[in-house]
Structure 1
Amino acid sequence: MSAYQVASLAGGRLRPGRLGRLTRGRGVLIAASAVVTLVVLAAVCAPLLAPYAPDAVDPLAVSEPSSAAHWLGTDDTGRDILSRLLYGARPSLLAPALITVIAGVVGTTLAVSAAWLGGWYDRVVSGALDIVFGFPGLVLAVVGAAVFG
């Protein structure tokens, strides 16, 4: 079918597809999603993309500026900054993702069990969560750092 035949079947105008409707007017969302996707792919593919091992020391290339050999330069011990950046993105992305998954599983389990069982258990869980949510997150982080080191 030609574009003219499709347009005539659609009432004289071409209708955008589902992807076109989802992305219309959301340029910032698409750009941000692309950046996050690139960062995640770079972290996952770090062994393939990194030109050097992240802990490889080159004493002849100490504090070098960016060059063809070291795209982002080297640090004060001669390690390639690009390689360290790619490998460092892995734990930096994994830790928050793991914390989010654990919090989601624990929160969902508590909420479903409190709704299912009800009674005194629901009151205890709701009261404990009210106390936790009553404190600002930064205060809880400082207290957690002080208690656990």
Structure 2
Amino acid sequence: MTDDWSPPPGSWASSAARRRNMQAIRSRDTKPEQLVRRLVHAQGLRYRVSAKPVPELRRTADMVFRPAKVAVFIDGCYWHGCPEHYVPPKTNHGYWSQKVVGNVNRDRDTDQKLRSAGWTVLRFWEHEPPEECALRIAATVRRLRPPSQQVP
């Protein structure tokens, strides 16, 4: 990369370093997601990863249990405005704060739309113990599975 880099017109990236940093942020397969998925899988449950619970809704859940109609989201503390851990940004405050507020609003809208379509929505923060999340997910999925999917 050359030193004369400049952001493309209309880009929010203020430097090459910031741009690289932002591009490295994962939207799926984060460590908290992987830990929870591994624990749920170990309990014998199978699921879809980063899937649309409702095909016509342009939103993906981190884990989708179709027969039980359970959608699971593992939300990052910064990007989803965790009441315990969210720290407002020091630079470009207006842009990032507005982005987080938009994410929170979209999360609430997603929850409402999925519930209206008959889905159970489970949301966890990335800082919650993965074991507790996995136990809650497994209990919910087992309770909501159709009778034909029940394991004796």
Please report the TM-score for the alignment, with normalisation by the length of structure 1: 0.27
More strand by share: 2
Please report the TM-score for the alignment, with normalisation by the length of structure 2: 0.26
More helix by share: 1
Larger Rg: 1
Higher RCO structure, 1 or 2 (CA under 8 Å, sep 6+): 2
